[in-house]
Amino acid sequence: MLDDFLIRAMLAGLGVAVAAAPLGCFVVWRRMAYFGDATAHAAILGVALSLALSTSVFAGALAVALAMALTVSTLSGRGYAMDTLLGVLAHSALAFGLVAVSFLQGIRLDLDAYLFGDILAVSRTDLAVIWVGVALILALTIWRWSPLLTATLNPDLAYASGIDPKREQLVLTLGLAIVVAVAIKVVGALLIVALLIIPAASARPLARTPESMAVAAAVIGAVSSLAGLRLSFLFDTPSGPTIVCVSAVIFTSTNLVARVLRATA
């Protein structure tokens, strides 16, 4: 069954959608969209480094994404405003990554795959790496769900309940770095944040509790992945962007419907 590249692509897309959903909700609640961008852009630098050193692209992307996430966490609140800091770090990481790639011989053709994803080229090994990453992320978020949510509401409330909000922030950072590393093959560095945020934002009008929002985001992400793959196959369009387009259409629909319902209620 896994011999079929379409099946592998579908499984990869499903995995990333499911892992991105709960993290995406936290990114939305904590207003960390730009943080996700910085981590994802840094991953390109990681890809370049791992190609140069001929190590696993996944490991390289994970290491640099994690380093970037930790740098941002450490620097926040010292001097520059967060969005300025992230703007500097995200785009410099991307630029350095692109320059680094240009030094490598015979890689130029591959760059597209890392910027925009190449889900149809997912190998069995890639699939295994993706699902191990997905399992890790799900285990991490389910384990830390309640403390993370409390820390998201208010750091002092967390302290008063014996939770260290800085540690929870670190857990989230680690989860984001893993999702970036596994998603880079599926949608590419430039569109990873779309996969985090759009399903979560589409799920918001449908949900009354944080948990239902995460589940709805996973379903919407999964539907986007499968439908996007199907459409890209039918119309011969690039898969990653098509997946994001589908989720954007879902976002518009759920929010429009919610608005109409509220107006008529």
Partner 1 sequence: MSLIEMQNVDVRLGGHQALSHVDLAINKGEIVTIVGPNGSGKTTLLRTLIGALKPSRGTVKRSKGVRIGYVPQSLSIDATLPLTVRRFLCLPHRHSTQAMDDALHHAGANGLQDRQMTDLSGGQFQRVLLARALLKKPDLLVLDEPTTGLDQPGSAALYRQIEQVRQDLGSAILMVSHELHVVMSASDRVICLNGHVCCHGAPETVASAPEYRALFGTGTQGALALYRHDHDHHHHSHAEESHEHGACNHA
Q: List interacting residues with partner 1 (CB under 8 A).
A: 28-31, 146-147, 149-150, 152-163, 200-201, 204, 207-210, 212-213
Distance CA 25, CA 204 (A): 9
Residue 206, classified by CB atoms within 10 Å of its CB into exposed (0-12), middle (13-18) or buried (19+), is middle
Residue placing its CB nearer to partner 1 in the complex, 107 or 206: 206
Residue 141, classed as helix, strand or coil, is: helix
CB of 155 to partner 1, least distance (A): 7
Residue placing its CB nearer to partner 1 in the complex, 160 or 257: 160
Task: Tell me 79's DSSP state.
Answer: S
172 contacts 26 by C-beta, under 8 angstroms:
yes
Angle, vertex CA 117, rays to CA 60 and CA 126, nearest 5? 55
96 contacts 45 by C-beta, under 8 angstroms:
yes
CB of 176 to partner 1, least distance (A): 17
Residue placing its CB nearer to partner 1 in the complex, 27 or 184: 27
244 contacts 191 by C-beta, under 8 angstroms:
yes
CB of 201 to partner 1, least distance (A): 7
Residue placing its CB nearer to partner 1 in the complex, 88 or 258: 258
CB of 138 to partner 1, least distance (A): 19
Alpha carbon separation from 114 to 25, 73, 191 (Å, rounded):
25, 25, 10
CB of 77 to partner 1, least distance (A): 9
Residue placing its CB nearer to partner 1 in the complex, 150 or 232: 150
203 contacts 224 by C-beta, under 8 angstroms:
no
Residue placing its CB nearer to partner 1 in the complex, 214 or 227: 214
CB of 3 to partner 1, least distance (A): 42
219 contacts 17 by C-beta, under 8 angstroms:
no
Residue placing its CB nearer to partner 1 in the complex, 27 or 181: 27
Q: Which amino acid is at 198?
A: I
Residues in Cβ contact with 105 at an 8 Å cutoff, skipping those fewer than 6 apart: none
CB of 154 to partner 1, least distance (A): 5
Residue 54, classed as helix, strand or coil, is: coil
